[in-house]
Structure 1
Amino acid sequence: MSMMEDAAVLVEVTRGDIVESRHRGMIAVVTGQGDVIARLGDIEFVTFLRSSAKPFQAIPLVASGAFAHFGLSQRELALIVGSHSGQSIHTEAVSGLLARIGLDASALKCGIHPPLDRETADRLGPEGATVLHNNCSGKHAGMLALCRFLGHDLTNYDHPDHPVQRQISKYVAQFAAIEPEAMATGEDGCGVPTFAVTIRQMALMYARLVAPLDGEWEKPVVDACAQIVKAMLAFPEMVGGTRGRLDTELMNLARGRLIAKLGAEGVYTVGVRPDEQYPHGLGIAVKIEDGDDRRVRGMVLIEVLRQLDLLDEAQLAALEGQRHRPVKNHRGETVGHIRPVFRLY
């Protein structure tokens, strides 16, 4: 079957009473024990984690002792697992992290793109961005810290066969419950490997991140998961940014209940910490079929959280402008709507 046949309609765009466009996708909600409690579309569809892999790419940094060895902070760890907006708080933190391990920005191999934060990008202009503004610069700095700690070559840390990348791949596969050799990989936008898993496995990974099962993981890995989650919750602005970032806003609004991490090409992932409602925690994975990163991805995630009773009325009210949007003409008049139309089952 094709991806089109396996994807469910998630959002409709209307003009008047006519549906003008539809966005399709897949959603999986999985407990820490691996039980699928809600779904939509083909959750066995294989696609790339993209930046949703970042918390798992940081596990060997923490579990190996490199994080403690260099005296890195929770704030820096949040930056390492984030897709930052390229604001000054982020670029200065990456520079400081690199200095801590005896390096500078020239060691980074993530490439250059304009800051995700529009105000910063406008201020810098088309020629002003540096490698530090890349949303993955924190991740790459973390990889370099692990290289430095283990004594590996720094010049090719981005290569798939580098010891650091092989170690990362091992952890990603373990959290997805697949054999490393069975996991397909590709090259991410920042030049390091990215990993292909099913939508269900994405959700499982995040459930395991927030609630690793007793006896399933060695203590350094369990401790690393706890530190990563703690860092994301303590410094959500380092995971995303100070404005216009749903991941940051959700973590601030949810008051410690969940972590949120976006991935490119329409991916969004959430880990819900164990509580009375979900004693084994939850992992949530959303994939928008057409790769939308702006118009509907966040809208779909908010609706998933609403249907799972993970946001109260006050939190939903704070997100009202992102839950559904008007379609306007060039005179500013509302002529249609963009709204979620799905129901999890």
Structure 2
Amino acid sequence: MRDGTDFVELARIWRGPLVESVHRGTVVVADFEGRLVGSWGDAGLMTFPRSSLKPFQAMALVESGAADAFGLTDEHIAMACASHSAEPFQVALVNDWLGRLGLDESALVCAPALPRGEADMGNAFTSGGPRRVYHNCSGKHCGFLTVAKHLGAGLDYADPAHPAQKLYLSILSEYLGQDAAKLPMGRDQCGLPALALPMRSLARAAARLALGYSGDANRRAAARRVLGAMAAHPDHLQGTDAATARVVRATNGRVVLKGGAEGFLMAMVPERGLGICIKTADGSPRAKFAVLARVLGHYGVLETAEAEALIPDLCPPITDSTGALVGGTEIVFEKPVATTPTKATLGFWLGGVKEAFF
């Protein structure tokens, strides 16, 4: 990130009659050839997609034959792509997976963590406290362990030079159209390498993933299986009826998406051959799914009315400690222009009238 010109205003947070906060960011839409279909903010913004790269990592699990060798189902594949909440069904899948590998959770590089849900967290404390299987990336780590075992390599899969990491980088390189091994590398919160790349490049890679782009038949099949697993099991990717699952269900599986930390989101639209990347400048995740809904309406993936109706479902209202409504989120990015007379709200007049008339 260089300066404020990298970003545009995406959302406003209202409390009563006033704007309390503003979220700025970048939105990039590209096709499989890398042509920019749309760009708001700097399409060349170099940033860390974080967990949004998990579908490409999961492709190595399928392409290598490791998934079939250990009898993994599409639910396991979805968990390899997940940033999960450690709900009981998700933890059960991770434990089942480790059992298939003949390993226990001590083989996972990620640190012990707690579930996200209050009840699940309470149950975790009564049954021993934090565990590695509760970590939101434990499915991804199981994926790397599986590839490592299948390749006969060591279990030090966090090493950037490990064969499992190299296979993932070769897959990502084809989809990016550049050598991923030469990209800037940091370390993710879960202990694995984290790549930084231009948003335009990842949007193109997402479009290629959506189409199963590759000259290799096994890689094309792997792409189809990964996206199919994500579409069939959207609750696995984040949590039951979480924002990710709501978008997948609202589009009847025509859109597959994966969020990343610090306000990143990647979406694939196979029927249109589009890849979409969204990044909020402040790293807040609360508006990114609603921004995606606006993008889907903008490009006709959803009817405008459907997309706009989805927005409040993806942006929880702001309430006080008693549950009373005190505010909300307004997506100002590419606000649709009204074509029929409407009753203007206070929020419209204070926040969106410019977009409506000019």
TM-score (norm 1): 0.89
Deviates more, 1:306-315 or 1:201-210: 306-315
Query: How many Å apart are 1:200 and its aligned residue?
Result: 1.2
1:58 partner SS: helix
Partners of 1:314 and 1:23 in 2: CA distance = 23
In 1, Cα distance between equivalents of 2:97 and 2:232: 18
Whichever of the two has the greater Rg, that structure is 2
1:129 & 1:313 partners in 2: Cα distance?
44
SS in 2 for 1:319: helix
Among 308, 311, 319, the residue aligned to 2:310: 319
The residue number in structure 2 matching 1:303 is: 294
Partner of 2:221, secondary structure, is helix
Distance 2:223 2:256 in 1: 12
Bigger relative CO (Cα 8 Å, ≥ 6 apart): 1
Q: Secondary structure at the match of 1:338?
A: strand
Equivalent in the alignment of 1:22: 22
Name structure 1 gaps, 5 residues minimum: none
Q: Deviations over 1:36-70 (max 9, x none)?
A: 11120011000011000101011122111111111
Structure 2 partner of 1:339: 330
Q: CA deviation at 1:330?
A: 6.3
What's the RMSD between the two structures over aligned residues?
2.4
Q: Could you say which residue in structure 2 is the equivalent of 1:229?
A: 227
CA distance in 1, matches of 2:102, 2:217: 29
Cα distance in 2 for residues equivalent to 1:256 and 1:68: 24
* Equivalent residue in structure 1 for 2:254, among 253, 257, 270: 257
Match of 2:149 in 1: 148
1:126-141 to structure 2, matched below 5 A, reads 128-141=129-142
Instruction: Select the residue among 214, 217, 233 that pairs with 2:215.
Output: 217
The equivalent residue for 1:164 is: 164
Q: Match of 1:268, as an amino acid?
A: L
CA spacing shift, 1:331–1:78, aligned 2, 3 Å: closer
- Which residue identity is paired with 2:37? I
**Residues 72-91 of structure 1 aligned to structure 2 (within 5 Å):** 72-91=72-91
Alpha-carbon offset, residue 13 of structure 1: 2.2
CA contact (8 A) 2:176 2:202 kept: yes
Show the counterpart of 1:203.
203
- Give distance in 1, aligned partners of 2:106 and 2:233: 26
CA distance in 2: counterparts of 1:177 and 1:118, whole angstroms: 43
Cα 1:257/1:18, change in 2 over 3 Å: same
Instruction: State whether residues 303 and 323 of structure 1, in contact with CA within 8 Å, keep that contact through their aligned partners in structure 2.
Output: no
Which residue number in structure 1 is paired with residue 277 of structure 2?
Answer: 285
SS at match of 2:196: strand
Deviates more, 1:222-231 or 1:66-75: 66-75
Q: Aligned partners of 1:145 and 1:201: how far apart in 2?
A: 28
- Compute the displacement of 1:166 (Å): 2.0
* 1:131-153 deviation per Cα after TM superposition (whole angstroms, max 9, x unaligned): 11111111111111111111001
Tell me what 2:70 maps to.
70
Distance 1:97 1:37, change over 3 A: same
Query: Counterparts of 1:329 and 1:59 in 2: how far apart (Å)?
Result: 43
Q: Give the structure 2 partner of residue 31 of structure 1.
A: 31
Instruction: For 1:137, give the aligned amino acid.
Output: S
Provide closer, same or farther for how the CA distance between residues 35 and 94 of structure 1 changes in structure 2, counting only shifts above 3 A.
same
Letter in 1 for 2:236: M
Give the Cα separation in 2 of the matches to 1:83 and 1:66: 21
Q: Would the alpha carbon gap of residues 321 and 343 (structure 1) be closer, same or farther in structure 2, given more than 3 Å must change?
A: closer
List per-residue Cα deviations over 1:115-165 (Å, max 9, x = no partner).
2334322443496231111111111111111111110011x1111222211
Indicate if the aligned counterparts of 1:323 and 1:339 stay in contact, CA closer than 8 A: no
1:108 CA displacement: 0.8
* Inter-partner Cα distance in structure 2 for 1:118 and 1:303: 31
Give the 3 Å change call, closer, same or farther, for CA 93–334 of structure 1 in structure 2. Answer: closer
TM normalised by structure 2 equals 0.86
| In 1: Cα distance, 2:327 partner to 2:78 partner | 39
Runs (5+) with no aligned partner, structure 2:
337-358
Contact 1:186 1:195 in 2 (8 A): yes
Distance 1:86 1:336 in 2: 30
Given that 2:294 and 2:307 are in contact with CA atoms closer than 8 Å, whether structure 1 keeps it comes out as no
**Partner SS, residue 39 of structure 1:** strand
Q: What's the secondary structure of 1:34's corresponding residue? A: coil
